[in-house]
């Protein structure tokens, strides 16, 4: 006899999640919109390989759509638009961002609420740019962090 709550997972929920993610909605907000917890979303991905592949495809579709806009902008006759698009490209696209971005982007996920983040000394003056993912607001860097 199975115990626990009945699953909400179905084709309609999967499509809702995939569509929102492809549109660019962050995954945590997508989960809230769908009425499920982030951990539930993660368990659905683990339990349903076809859903996991659909999510990966939705992420790729969304990225592809937005990058095509940036690529068109880089070819703009307006030099200011082309420069802004090229600058964005250099600071965000893997392979270039490591050399041209002024800030490091860190994404951390884990099973518990305690997470340590390494912040390089040259980034320590940007204390309001580090987000506390559990509270959705800027966090402070501990004073004296090396």
Q: Tell me, what's the pLDDT at 42?
A: 95
- Could you tell me the pLDDT band of residue 6, with boundaries at 50, 70 and 90? confident
Reading the block at residue 108, the tokens are 């951390």
Q: What is the pLDDT of residues 21-62, one digit of tens each?
A: 999 999 999 999 999 999 999 999 999 999 999 999 999 999
- The SS3 call for residue 137 is strand
Residue 7 confidence (pLDDT): 81
Distances (CA, A) of 82 to 10, 50, 85: 44, 39, 5
Q: Is 84 in contact with 110 (CB distance < 8 Å)? A: no
Contact between 102 and 110 (Cβ < 8 Å): no
CB atoms within 10 A of CB 41: 20
Buried b (16+ CB within 10 A) or exposed e, 61-95: ebeeeeeeeeeebbeeeeeeeeeebeeebeeeeee
pLDDT band at 107 (very low <50, low <70, confident <90, very high): low
Other Cβ atoms closer than 10 A to 146: 7
Q: What was the pLDDT predicted at 146?
A: 40
How much is the pLDDT for 102? Answer: 74
- Mean pLDDT for the stretch of residues 96-115: 64
Q: Residue 122 and residue 141: Cα distance in Å, rounded?
A: 13
**Residue 132 per-residue DSSP state:** E
Q: What is the rounded average pLDDT for all residues in the chain?
A: 79
Query: Rounded mean pLDDT of 111-136?
Result: 51
Q: What is the mean pLDDT of the segment spanning 103-131? A: 54
Q: Return the pLDDT at 117.
A: 58
* Among the listed residues 14, 41, 17, 19, the one whose alpha carbon sits nearest the alpha carbon of residue 30: 17
Question: Is 132's pLDDT higher than 70?
Answer: no
User: Where in the chain are the domains?
Assistant: 11-101, 109-146
**Given pLDDT bands bounded at 50, 70 and 90, which one contains residue 113?**
low
For the question of whether the overall pTM of this predicted structure is more than 0.75, the answer is no
């Amino acid at each position: 006899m199975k115990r626990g709550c009945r699953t909400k997972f179905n084709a309609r929920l999967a499509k809702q999640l995939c569509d929102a993610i492809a549109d660019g909605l962050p995954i945590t907000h997508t989960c809230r919109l769908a009425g499920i917890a982030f951990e539930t979303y993660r368990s659905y991905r683990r339990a349903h390989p076809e859903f996991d592949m659909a999510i990966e495809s939705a992420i790729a579709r969304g990225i592809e759509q937005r990058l095509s806009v940036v690529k068109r902008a880089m070819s703009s006759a307006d030099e200011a638009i082309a420069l802004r698009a090229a600058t964005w490209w250099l600071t965000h696209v893997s392979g270039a961002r490591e050399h041209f971005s002024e800030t490091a982007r860190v994404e951390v996920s884990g099973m518990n609420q305690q997470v340590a983040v390494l912040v390089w000394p040259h980034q320590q003056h940007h204390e309001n740019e580090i987000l506390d993912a559990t509270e959705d607001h800027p966090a402070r860097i501990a004073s004296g962090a090396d």
